[in-house]
Amino acid sequence: METQNTERKKRIFSGVQPSGTITLGNYLGAIRNWVALQDEYDCAFAMMDMHSITVRQTPAELRKRTLELLALYIACGIDPEKCILFIQSQNSAHAELSWVLNCFTYMGELNRMTQFKDKSAKHADNINAGLFTYPVLMAADILLYQADLVPVGKDQMQHIEICRDIAQRFNAVYGNVFTIPEGLLVKSGAKIMSLQEPTKKMSKSDENPKAFISMMDDFNVIAKKIKSAVTDSEGVIEYRPDDENKAGVNNLLSIMAVMTDSTPEKVAALYEGQGYGTLKGAVAEAVVEGIRPIRAEYDRIIKDKAYLQGIYRQGAETAHRIADRTLKKVYKKVGFVID
Ligand code: TRP
């Protein structure tokens, strides 16, 4: 056994794609939870721009959103002094390892990925090979840093599973090259649902902007969206996670629970017997008040281009140094001439 895992803090890797606007779901389900992890773990968080181009992007928009995402990470409380913050495409090791791992991944495995099926249905005119091998690039992201834990939402668990399978397969042939990562499912807020179709995940690529809350929305727009959230005709505030008919109310209770550090059950008890209007008003206020300080920070940081550039350049350098160690090991194992 190698000793590298016992001598260092456990490492965490995660990231968000800079495609589309960042939603409340991204914040509650991902970024917010990372803040709590940064003292205890060695963290690396990236802007996954290479994953974004599996769907057609407007170049200027992608570039802009990548920096916005970085500013938002920092505004949410991710400390660049404690974590490695970098842009995926600025570390060539991701593409390089991804190629090698492609040769250790089966078509059949990739065919089973639900995200691939969903996205090909949605972008039927552009079912490209990148969309198909998306999970392989994601595996490379994680394995390059020998990550122990990968905080993700429920929808990404299948990608963590395939990453583990690929890593184990590689290790079985070449010895202990990769740390086998584990998904770290965040308790509440792991899946914030669409406000319009609450059985679907809240998605920034939803054609209906009323379905998601952007971290960049005006506060009155946020309140309006919450107040027009789809509920049900039963008129009873109760948390019933297994009842599809209650999906809208469950979602509001879950959002309120994460915003107030409570549980959906406790929030339901608090509003028992009241109307949906009252609940929505309270949720709207909690969300707006939660986002307000982040937005103030964000507005300040996004203007400081030199500061942001300093962060991502430093991040890329550190990320590259760590990733290159893994990549060199892999290249050597598979038989590439590396000197
Ligand atoms: N696929 C992830 C998502 O859409 C983003 C992502 C890419 C990621 N690479 C990763 C997340 C590596 C965690 C680790 O949310």
Would you call 41 exposed, middle or buried from its count of C-beta atoms within 10 A (0-12, 13-18, 19+)? Answer: buried
Which ligand 1 atom sits closest to the C-alpha of 51? 7
Per DSSP, 168 falls in state: H
Which residues are annotated as catalytic? 119, 201, 204
Give percent of the chain above pLDDT 70: 97
Does ligand 1 come within 6 angstroms of the Cβ of 50?
Answer: no
Distance between CA atoms of residues 164 and 154, nearest Å = 16
Q: Are 247 and 198 in contact (CB under 8 A)?
A: yes
Per DSSP, 331 falls in state: H
User: CA-based Rg of the chain, rounded to a whole angstrom?
Assistant: 21
What 3-state class would DSSP assign to 11? strand
Ranges for all domains in the chain classified under CATH 1.10.240.10: 209-298
Ranges for all domains in the chain classified under CATH 3.40.50.620: 11-185+305-334
Domain made up of 11-185+305-334: CATH architecture: 3-Layer(aba) Sandwich (3.40)
Does ligand 1 come within 6 angstroms of the Cβ of 49?
Answer: no
254-309 pLDDT per residue, tens:
999 989 989 999 999 999 999 999 999 999 999 999 999 999 999 999 999 999 99
Distance between CA atoms of residues 56 and 299, nearest Å = 28
Q: Looking at 90-99, 188-197, 327-336, which range is the least confident one?
A: 188-197
Q: What angle do CA 244, 246, 247 make, to 5 degrees?
A: 65
Tokens describing residue 197: 């179709």
List the CATH code of the domain at 209-298: 1.10.240.10
Does ligand 1 come within 6 angstroms of the Cβ of 14?
Answer: yes
